[in-house]
Structure 1
Amino acid sequence: MLSPRWRRALAAILLSLVLFVSACSAQEPSRYTQIQEETSGRNAPAAVSDQAARGGDFNKYFPRSVAGYNIVPYQEKNGFAEYKVNQDGKNVAMLAINDVLDTPAAYKFQNSAMTIAGYPAVEQGQTATAILVNDRYQVKVLSRDSSFTKEDRAAWIEKFDLAGLSELS
């Protein structure tokens, strides 16, 4: 029979051995790592041009909070900024500006017969309205609640500082 001292020593040795073997074994890459490698290795062009405006540059062109609506910054990255429109604590719409320089996103505006505030506009599905400012900046309003209508989206697009945005280079 082993004494308690030997049992503890044996347990410590076995535990160390298990930890050593598991630490040295090759780890299988996660499925997310594999997918990232597969999708990024296609030599596809970047989604955002290197010359795109910084997302922070767009903040001053967004509408401010107005009676009944609270405008809250949500996301900002190179070439893109997004704000939430909340009413009574509920998100009813999203406002976005993105730089579509060197991306095909601007092509959908070329044949548009619709305009908002003098800029070519398009409906994107049932919940989004967008305009193209200065052939470069897409200003988009997305409904997040059925109470926020197509007409509301057009009215909110007009609340942006579009003249200021058109001068951004």
Structure 2
Amino acid sequence: MNFGKIQKVLAPFLLGLLLLVSSCATQAPSRYEQAQNASTGRNATPAVVKTSTQGAQFNKYFPKSTGGYQVVPAQEKKGFAEYKLKKDGKDVAVLSVSDTVNNPSAKQKFQSSGKTIAGYPAANIGSNGTAVLVGDRYQVKVQSRDSSFTQSDREAWLQKFNLRAIAALK
């Protein structure tokens, strides 16, 4: 028998066998797959509750651009909407509305606060954030991104939201 003939037959056979064995081998899941499995696993709590309000419903209640400030859409997803507040092309604050059904512990900071803004319970969030809880469900928040944007600026911008309409959402 000719060795060249065997080589022509054996090489494709071995290559096919190698491909078959390697394609059937199980690979460890990537870190992204592991995170997905952990977050959607059997006993995992979903990140967004089904009854959460769609972020698009919040958009019409954000303040309008005024007084040299631009209100620019930044992010929207189920249970959350965020806008950037710009002045002279620079980000000075972030405005957001979030549905606390996704994070019930977010409501706790308002229970111990004796402060109100526009009649709604208010709380400071760190040194750069101020928020109100409307309708006992929605957190409306303003966070400074520039040192020139003060606590009183945050409180003034919170009052520019249509808080009554947000509170009436179901």
Normalised by the length of structure 2, the TM-score is 0.80
Q: CA deviation at 1:166?
A: 1.9
**Secondary structure of the equivalent of 1:46?**
coil
Q: Counterparts of 1:24-103 in structure 2 under 5 Å?
A: 26-41=26-41, 43-101=43-101, 103=104
Normalised by the length of structure 1, the TM-score is 0.80
Q: CA deviation at 1:50?
A: 1.4
Counterpart for residue 4 of structure 2: none
In structure 1, C-alpha distance between the alignment counterparts of 2:35 and 2:49, rounded to whole Å:
23
8 Å CA contact 2:97–2:139 kept in 1: the answer is yes
5+ residue gaps, structure 2, are: 1-14
Counterpart for residue 132 of structure 1: 133
8 Å CA contact 1:81–1:97 kept in 2: the answer is yes
Farther off after superposition, 101-110 or 80-89: 101-110
Q: CA deviation at 1:141?
A: 0.5
8 Å CA contact 1:109–1:122 kept in 2: the answer is yes
In structure 1, C-alpha distance between the alignment counterparts of 2:142 and 2:44, rounded to whole Å:
28
**Secondary structure of the equivalent of 1:113?**
coil
5+ residue gaps, structure 1, are: 1-14
**Secondary structure of the equivalent of 2:101?**
coil
Percent identity for Structure 1 against Structure 2: 55
In structure 2, C-alpha distance between the alignment counterparts of 1:168 and 1:38, rounded to whole Å:
32
In structure 2, C-alpha distance between the alignment counterparts of 1:83 and 1:19, rounded to whole Å:
51
**What's the RMSD between the two structures over aligned residues?**
2.9
Farther off after superposition, 38-47 or 116-125: 38-47
Number of equivalenced pairs? 166
